[in-house]
Chains A and B, each alone.
Chain A
């Protein structure tokens, strides 16, 4: 059954970087980066608010030179929707179905690449140089969590192999190496 919806690709608040077979999209509102593979990128580019899903199917078939199930296009639309890359929410065709069962169904029938959108949250400047996802550069540089601040606000947490050592009245945060008694204070990262 054809679905009458005609989704619209969101363009505002995005930085779009076109590549030969992919599109990279950076969402300025959420600081998330998304990499759309060729199939997902094709669907996104054709979401103009006028073209229905069944028409996108036809365009896709023309471009790829092969017959595809409408579900393949819907799989792309679902992912675009989830990542807030469409102007308005569309009603999923797969409501109630698990992603696994949908993928299984489409995957077997499809000879073209399934739509895939890889996403990540862009790091802050500090996290881009950190030892792990929870440490700051300072904590890398010194192995500690905001050393010098009162124990009530020891954050972010120390990285693997370190624990925030805080005890006694008026103590301040310090990361202590858990393997052995070596403190990591004054060690540089």
Chain B
């Protein structure tokens, strides 16, 4: 009887393996689940850097256990959530996979940041979620900047930033909290295709009525401000600090409070134009 159950489970079990930014991941399930939906969701979430691979030995294994109504998720045998709906499972899986890729990406440093480029030079805006990162990026690309990302600044070993042009996740359309994914074209903008040097890192936070007073930070102070948004710092500190140092050697790191995104975007562009001859 027990063997029959095990056999049945084995037959039901399904698996996909993929590689993203050099990170090898598998997702297994012991139940019938829509793997096509998962694949599409992850491919969008990882900005199409998603390559299915057969017979891969993965470093990170996600395991979905469930029946027709509720699901549980484990990562490397550690429970993440249990008894949740499929919608919630998908949200959690997407989020966990994306963070795993960002933490372990080979030869890349992922910062939680918005990125745009003007004249082939990047402006990186590190920020936590719910701190207006996307609003600022959206305002900048509406004013002509090239879109690179509203989620991650993906830095290579030379400190250049690569596009991570997933759709912009904008709040305030459905309601105050829910996000709606919009393609960059909706903003009358284009997405960057090439890696570009970082010319400016802007540390900023929305404060109602705040005055724009950019203060230039030293390289060390600047890196200390960027670190809280640096995903792989604990996993590969040496490589990460080396990359951040390369960014700091070239870029101006500045800090200021800011008011509304549209006004701030104008100020950023003007500030950037004045700096351009120095960069």
Contact A130 B248 (CB under 8 A): no
Using CB atoms, name the residue of chain B closest to A14. B237
What's the least CB distance linking B96 to chain A, in Å? 7
Q: Which of A21, A122, A149, A189 contacts B218 (CB 8 A)?
A: A21
* B228 adjacent to A186 (CB under 8 Å): no
Q: Nearest chain A CB to B72's CB is how many angstroms away?
A: 8
CA distance A131 to B81 in the complex (A): 19
Which residues from A are CB-within-8-Å of B175? 182
Interfacial residues of chain B within 202-244, with CB under 8 A of chain A in the complex: 218-221, 223-224, 227-235, 237-238, 241-242
Q: How far is the CB of A90 from chain B (nearest CB, A)?
A: 24
| Complex: A172 Cα to B82 Cα, angstroms | 10
CA–CA, A48 and B179, complex, Å: 55
Query: Which residues of the other chain, A, contact B242 by a CB distance below 8 angstroms?
Result: 17
CB within 8 Å of B: which A121-146 residues: 122-132, 137-138, 140-143, 146
Cα-based distance from A17 to B238 in the complex (angstroms): 8
A19 and B99: CB pair below 8 A?
no
CB <8 Å contact, A19 and B219:
yes
Which residues of A from 12 to 47 have beta carbons under 8 Å from B? 15, 17, 19-24, 26, 28, 31, 33, 35-37
Report whether A19 and B95 are in contact in the complex, using a CB–CB cutoff of 8 Å: no
A153 to B241 CA separation, bound complex (whole angstroms) = 35
B82 and A188 form a contact (CB under 8 A): no
Could you say which of B82, B102, B224, B245 contacts A125, with CB atoms under 8 Å apart? B102
CB-based contact A148/B245 at 8 Å? no
Count chain B residues whose beta carbon lies closer than 8 angstroms to a beta carbon of A. 46
Most buried by B among A20, A118, A132, A137: A137
Q: Is B32 an interface residue (CB 8 A)?
A: no
Q: Is the CB of A132 within 8 A of B128?
A: yes
Question: Separation in Å of the A148 CB from the closest CB of chain B?
Answer: 4
Asked if A149 and B227 sit within 8 Å, CB to CB, the answer is: no
B25 to chain A, nearest CB (A): 14
Choose among B82, B169, B177, B231 the residue that contacts A128 (Cβ–Cβ < 8 A).
Answer: B231
Min distance, Cβ B170 to any Cβ of chain A, angstroms:
11
Give complex CA distance A159, B177 in Å: 13
A122 to B236, CA, bound (A): 12
Q: Does residue A95 face the partner (Cβ distance < 8 Å to B)?
A: no
Q: A182 CB to closest chain B CB, in angstroms? A: 7
Distance A37 CA – B221 CA, assembled complex (angstroms): 9
Contact in complex: A125, B219 (CB < 8 Å)? no
- Choose among A122, A126, A130, A141 the residue that contacts B227 (Cβ–Cβ < 8 A): A122
CB < 8 Å neighbour of B219 from A20, A130, A138: A20
A184 CB–B CB distance under 8 Å: yes
B67 interface residue, CB < 8 Å from A?
Answer: no
Interface pair A125/B234, CB less than 8 Å apart? yes
What sequence of 0s and 1s flags, for each residue 82-106 of chain B, a beta carbon within 8 Å of any chain A beta carbon? 1110011001100110011011000
Distance in angstroms between the alpha carbons of A15 and B244 in the assembled complex: 13
Q: Would A17 and B241 count as touching, CB distance under 8 A? A: yes
B130 at interface by CB-CB < 8 Å: yes
A177 within 8 A of B: yes
Report the bound CA distance from A33 to B223 in whole Å: 10
Is the Cβ of B220 less than 8 Å from the Cβ of A37? yes
Q: Which residues of A contact B229 (CB under 8 A)?
A: 123, 128-129
CB of B273 closer than 8 Å to a CB of A: no
CB distance from A184 to the nearest CB of B (A): 5
Does B55 lie at the interface of the complex (its beta carbon under 8 Å from any beta carbon of A)?
no
8 contacts between A and B (CB under 8 A): A19-B220, A24-B220, A35-B223, A37-B220, A131-B129, A147-B84, A187-B177, A187-B179
| B residues lining the A interface (CB < 8 Å) | 80-84, 87-88, 91-92, 95-96, 99-100, 102-103, 112, 128-130, 169, 175-179, 218-221, 223-224, 227-235, 237-238, 241-242, 245, 248
Query: Across chains A and B, which 3 residue pairs bring their CB atoms closest together, nearest first?
Result: A22-B220, A125-B103, A187-B177
Supply 17 further A-B pairs (C-beta < 8 A) apart from A142-B92, A149-B82.
Answer: A19-B218, A19-B245, A19-B248, A21-B219, A21-B220, A23-B220, A24-B220, A24-B224, A33-B224, A120-B224, A125-B100, A128-B228, A129-B112, A137-B129, A141-B92, A186-B178, A187-B177
